[in-house]
């Protein structure tokens, strides 16, 4: 009789541990990006010029759908956007894709940095991101 109680307690304990680990795994999976997170979490410190007002809603929609959609949006609309806003948008993309593809993120960062003049309003952001992408 004592053996049955001990085996029952062991099985019950294994069930409790397994269910806890399963819940934690599912929670961690959601937090690490199974569902695409919005690309930009904070508003820009300086309002940058170069984005036609008609493209702003589609930009917000592309950012909210994740890095893949955001990249396609940039490729399609790049010819309509001017620096410094184009550089800012590309840096948003680099930050969004950094966890999934760090080489691409570094490449985008390097491209933006190479074409950005030293007096650009984008320079403070480039300096903040330099530790992550260089």
What pLDDT, on a 0 to 100 scale, did the predictor assign at position 44? 52
Evaluate the CA torsion angle 30, 64, 79, 120 in order and state its sign: negative
Per-10-residue mean pLDDT of the chain, 134 residues long, equals: 89 89 76 54 61 86 87 90 88 88 89 89 87 80
Give the whole-angstrom CA distance, residue 107 versus residue 71: 13
* Long-range residue pairs from 100-109, CB within 8 A, at least 24 positions apart, any chain: 100/33, 100/67, 105/133, 106/133, 106/134, 109/133, 109/134
Burial class for 106, CB neighbours closer than 10 Å (0-12, 13-18, 19+)? middle
pTM over 0.75? The answer is no
What pLDDT, on a 0 to 100 scale, did the predictor assign at position 24? 83
What pLDDT, on a 0 to 100 scale, did the predictor assign at position 29? 67
């Amino acid at each position: 009789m004592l053996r049955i109680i001990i085996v029952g307690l062991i099985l019950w304990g294994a069930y409790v541990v397994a269910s806890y680990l399963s819940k934690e795994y599912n929670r961690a999976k959601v937090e690490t990006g199974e569902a695409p997170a919005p690309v930009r979490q904070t508003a820009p410190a300086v309002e940058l010029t170069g984005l036609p007002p008609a493209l702003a809603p589609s930009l917000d929609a592309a950012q909210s759908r994740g890095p893949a959609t955001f990249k396609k949006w940039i490729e399609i609309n790049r010819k309509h956007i001017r620096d410094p806003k184009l550089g800012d948008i590309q840096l948003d993309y680099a930050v969004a894709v950094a966890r999934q593809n760090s080489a691409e993120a570094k490449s985008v960062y390097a491209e933006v940095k190479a074409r950005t003049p030293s007096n650009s309003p984008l320079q403070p952001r480039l300096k903040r991101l330099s530790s992550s992408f260089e």
